[in-house]
Amino acid sequence: MDYRVSKSGDYTIVELAGDVDLSCSPDARKAILRCLERSEHTLVDMSGVTYIDSSGVASLVEGYQTAKKKSLRFGLLGVSEAAMSVLQLARLDKVFPIHATLQQRLDADV
């Protein structure tokens, strides 16, 4: 897995790519939680995710719960088909705010 962190407006974007599995999900978790610890609204771009397992999903859930406790906005962007099928199986597609693009998310905030 590769990840990159960038800023866009009020959001910090954590862009994940490749397989998000047990071997690398701790890195994804740290990146997401680091943003939230700095009280930054956080979006996770999953357009490049080719596979995600339960440990990767747990990192997203922890990020969502942390953001909620801190009254921060959190969501997913451009979720790949592979990742979406896992989120749907766990019914988390009904929990996470999911937007196809950053612009859709920004429009939803207005």
pLDDT score recorded for residue 64: 98
Does the pLDDT value for residue 93 go beyond 80? Answer: yes
Rounded to whole angstroms, the Cα distance separating 13 from 108 reads: 16
Radius of gyration, alpha carbons of the chain: 12
pLDDT score recorded for residue 4: 94
Predicted TM-score (pTM) of the model is: 0.94
Does the pLDDT value for residue 95 go beyond 80? Answer: yes
CATH 3.30.750.24 holds for 2-104: yes
Question: Please, are residues 18 and 48 in contact by the beta-carbon 8 Å criterion?
Answer: yes
Residue 64 DSSP class:
H
Does the pLDDT value for residue 12 go beyond 80? Answer: yes
52-70: per-residue pLDDT in tens? 999 999 999 999 999 999 9
pLDDT score recorded for residue 108: 86
Amino acid at 64: Y
Question: Please, are residues 46 and 77 in contact by the beta-carbon 8 Å criterion?
Answer: yes
Rounded to whole angstroms, the Cα distance separating 53 from 34 reads: 21
